[in-house]
Amino acid sequence: MNKTKLDFDKRKDEVENYFSFLVILGDHENTRLKYKKDDNLVEEKIPDQLRKILIANGFLLLYNVIEATVRHSILEIYYAIEDNGISFEQLSESLKKIWVEQSTDNLKEGNFKQDTLRDSILDITESILTKETILLSKDKLDFSGNLDAQKIRELATKYGFEIPSNGRNLVTIKNKRNRLAHGEQTFYEIGKDFSVGDLANFKNETMDFLSDVINKIEKFISNKNYKKR
């Protein structure tokens, strides 16, 4: 999990630096913007609209950390299975289902030929009988901007690692991020409803929740819970 932890720490540092800047802007009565214009030094207050836009941008940063950390953590499970040469019969029941689901993903209802079905069955059967090392696809790990605490708990149940607790505000981060990403609301419309303090609370809760997720997946891998008991 070292690679995942390093990536998490790097992204966390980016967020902390950004929030340090937001805290300065939050004191809008005493904070001034100084710049040079036509050889004159100009000093003016930070526009309220800009402050709200920057607050809204914080939701994008936080969601980026959420999705990247969960993705990298689950991929660590995939790498452990591959590195240890785990075959289908050695997999836990949960991961057997995930592998079969990935292997049959191209068999959409009413959207495949009989030859495709036969080839897929043959490939799966051959992998099982020859005890090939199971390779889970990172390309099938698609969250589509839908990660919040409940979704992550569902992933924990699906994969078999311990369910993380708390994280109730991750749903707000997800929803605000999606409204920005899909153009449903402007940055100002999102940012005007939150203070720097509100966003700082979301940030602290998010980092604590993700640290818990990393620790639980690390324990899952260390105990080799991806193997059949």
155-188, pLDDT tens digit by residue? Answer: 999 999 999 989 999 999 999 999 999 999 999 9
Q: What is the pLDDT of residue 33?
A: 73
Q: What is the pLDDT of residue 119?
A: 79
Give the chain's mean pLDDT.
91
Average pLDDT over residues 43-70: 92
Helix or strand or coil: residue 45? strand
Distance (Å) of CA 57 to CA 63, 85, 104, 180: 10, 43, 39, 9
Largest alpha-carbon pair distance within the chain?
Answer: 78
> pLDDT higher for 229 or 211?
211
Q: What is the pLDDT of residue 205?
A: 97
Domain boundaries, the chain: 2-86+138-222
91's CB contacts (< 8 A; 6+ apart) are 81, 99, 134, 226, 227, 228
77-100, pLDDT tens digit by residue? Answer: 999 999 999 999 999 999 999 999
pLDDT band at 108 (very low <50, low <70, confident <90, very high): low
Q: What is the pLDDT of residue 181?
A: 94
